[in-house]
Amino acid sequence: MGAGRTRRWRCPHRGHGLGDRRRASDSVPGRIRGPIATVSDPDPVRVGVVGLGWWGGVLADAAERAGLEVTACFARTKASRDEFAAVRGCYAASSLAELVASDDVEGVILATPHSVHVEHVEQIAAAGKHVIVDKPFTLTVAEARRALAATSAAGTILMVGHQRRRQEANRRIKDLIDGGDIGTPVVASSVYGVASGYPATWRAAKDETPLGAMTGLGVHMIDTFHYLLGPIERVSAFSNEMLEGEPLDHATGLLLEFWTGAVGSLVTTHFAPKVIQMSVHGTKGAAFNEDDGARLFVQKISEGTRTEVTFKRNDELVDQLVAFADAIRGTGPAEPGGVEGMAVVAVLEAAVASAESRAAVEVAEFMSGDRYG
């Protein structure tokens, strides 16, 4: 993409494998208006939870709110799985193989370390079970291709846990873009910070969390950028260690070039007060998702102030697991799926390469069939 190249805005997902774009009046996967969705089949989908840390518990809670039945669990530590099973009233499997062999498990909620996602997905698919994988899908496109191949061969559902695209605020921003209300998007921006530091777990390992908070937090916003604006083509990354005694990057920023020529920025950190926000700025106006989907503002180019849009906030984690259950039952799409998850991984890989080389990197280099076969 050379400087000064002229482009024309059009449907950002057409021909890019990232899903079809729809007008607000059309049926949009995962759209929530009003009450939280519930699983459409009265027979609850039975799931096992693999990876029983804090986030595994959050996902299990959401699964139960969504109407799924948690029937089994597995973690490497016996005490963890026994405690989880006692709280949930489910079976504590002694291995992943035992869990996926059970007739009481139709699908798996996978919340294990990033580096083992691919081998776990392959094992789950080989047993004929469906899976939703916590983000990031994998750490490399090569691994993502392996996971996709395994589920494709098995004919099983594969979803990736990028739930923020399901926020009602982001669905409405998509409507504004599709309907032309804010004109042609030219700039997008996001900041994602949570003051958690790096606890002494696998998440603090450099090989599990390259670029620090960008791996655990920023990937959500990369997926949402893809959902709203289409593929990211080029990345410049800055990732710095500034503080004493902390193992990973403390501040990471990406400058993004989209396939349309629009430019975006994404900044993440684990060392500042909580902030989760996203905005899209177009030739007719701008839309602002504030407070992690709690508030939505719109500003027309002719107006000097922003106007708040009222809406009923949805529970995107619940909606994501409702969608997983519906996909298993054949009543809804698996959104986002492995292709969307792999697109995020490609941007993350490009960002890692950019931070190391201190140069802009083309995302296509990491999606190349020549490179990954």
User: What is the DSSP annotation of 191-259?
Assistant: EEE-TT---SSGGG-TTTSTTTHIIIIIHHHHHHHHHHH--EEEEEEEEE--STT--S-SEEEEEEEET
pLDDT of residue 187: 99
Which H helix or E strand runs over 268? strand 263-269
β-strands 107-110, 130-134 pairing: parallel
What is the rounded CA–CA span in Å between residue 214 and residue 60? 24
Residues 6+ apart with CB under 8 A from 305: 299
pLDDT in 10s for each residue of the chain, 373 residues: 444 444 434 433 333 333 333 322 233 333 333 333 444 457 999 999 999 999 999 999 999 999 999 999 999 999 999 999 999 999 999 999 999 999 999 999 999 999 999 999 999 999 999 999 999 999 999 999 999 999 999 999 999 999 999 999 999 999 999 999 999 999 999 999 988 766 656 565 667 888 989 999 999 999 999 999 999 999 999 988 767 666 666 889 999 999 999 999 999 998 889 999 999 999 999 999 999 999 999 999 999 899 999 999 999 999 999 999 999 999 999 999 999 999 999 999 999 999 999 999 999 999 865 443 3
pLDDT of residue 249: 67
What is the rounded CA–CA span in Å between residue 164 and residue 228? 12
Q: What are the extents of the domains in the chain?
A: 46-163, 168-313+337-372
pLDDT of residue 197: 64
Cβ atoms of 157 and 327 within 8 Å: the answer is yes
pLDDT of residue 208: 83
Instruction: Tell me the fold of 168-313+337-372.
Output: Dihydrodipicolinate Reductase; domain 2 (3.30.360)
Instruction: Tell me the fold of 46-163.
Output: Rossmann fold (3.40.50)
pLDDT of residue 247: 64
pLDDT of residue 5: 43
Q: What is the pTM of this model?
A: 0.87
